[in-house]
Amino acid sequence: MSTSLAESINTTSFRYPHELEKYYHEGVINKFRDEWDVEIEEAQEIFSEMKKFIFISAIAQKECIEFEIDEPILIIDKMWHQFILFTMDYERFCNKFFGKMLHHVPFCSTHLVQKIKALSEHGITLNEHKAERLRRQLETIKLTFGKSTLEKWYIDYAHKYSYERMNMLQRPVFFGDLDSLNKPLNISDVKRMGANELINGIVDRGSASLYCGGHGCGMYCTCNSSGGSLYT
């Protein structure tokens, strides 16, 4: 890390807590494997690396260091997406380890156009901005977790989770025992039904479904209106 950057930040906050290192969420890992064709050990490793990225992102936010998901570590972002779906558990996790909710801010092509325009108004090209942002991000990772994590995220993962392999690993929305999927009611029959008959028909079809595969398992998600959690 450059001397100026190292001297400008509070390095004591870069110590990775043992309790955070040990944190585990079976539901997130299993949900991830519903969508990605990886073994349990591989998913567990990605979950561990995701925790490290969230931790360092929280530090970067405090130190006003711009942090982004780059292509080599996109698989970490995919695990983060799964964690966020467990809204109550993710909120508790953030409050426990960071004292506040750590939000995930998506980026799209429209934002990119706006960013290029804003940078050009200050005489900065996108490549110049990306190079400086990436250097600061890499230096922050080095200071926090050392060269080994730099290599793992930006070299090992760049090869292991290339765009070709990511496309191969991502499961289709529905897979597995598709014969057990719930079949919808016939549209023409529905037009002749009353509301109560329609409800009964949907219940009969839905409750008979034994499908458990694809990106969910029957119920797919719940609002957990009872206030409890399925996993903690």
Q: Which of helix, strand or coil describes residue 5?
A: helix
User: Model's pTM, two decimal places?
Assistant: 0.81
What's the pLDDT score for residue 51?
98
**pLDDT tens digits along 165-224:** 999 999 988 777 677 677 788 999 999 999 999 888 888 877 655 545 555 554 455 554
- Helix/strand/coil percentages in the chain, nearest 5: 65, 0, 35
Q: Are residues 112 and 13 in the same domain?
A: yes
Write the secondary structure of 105-118 as one string of H (helix), E (strand) and C (coil).
CCCCHHHHHHHHHH
What's the pLDDT score for residue 9?
56
Tell me, yes or no, whether 142 lies in a domain: yes
Tell me, yes or no, whether 230 lies in a domain: no
Residue with token string 């250097």: 135
Q: Are residues 143 and 189 in the same domain?
A: no
Low-confidence residues of the chain, pLDDT below 50?
1-4, 7, 211, 218-219, 224-226
Q: Which of 118, 148, 169 is the last residue of a domain?
A: 169
Q: Are residues 146 and 194 in the same domain?
A: no
Q: Are residues 91 and 193 in the same domain?
A: no
| Distance from C-alpha of 232 to C-alpha of 228, rounded to nearest angstrom | 8
Q: Which of helix, strand or coil describes residue 229?
A: coil
Range of the domain at 102: 3-169
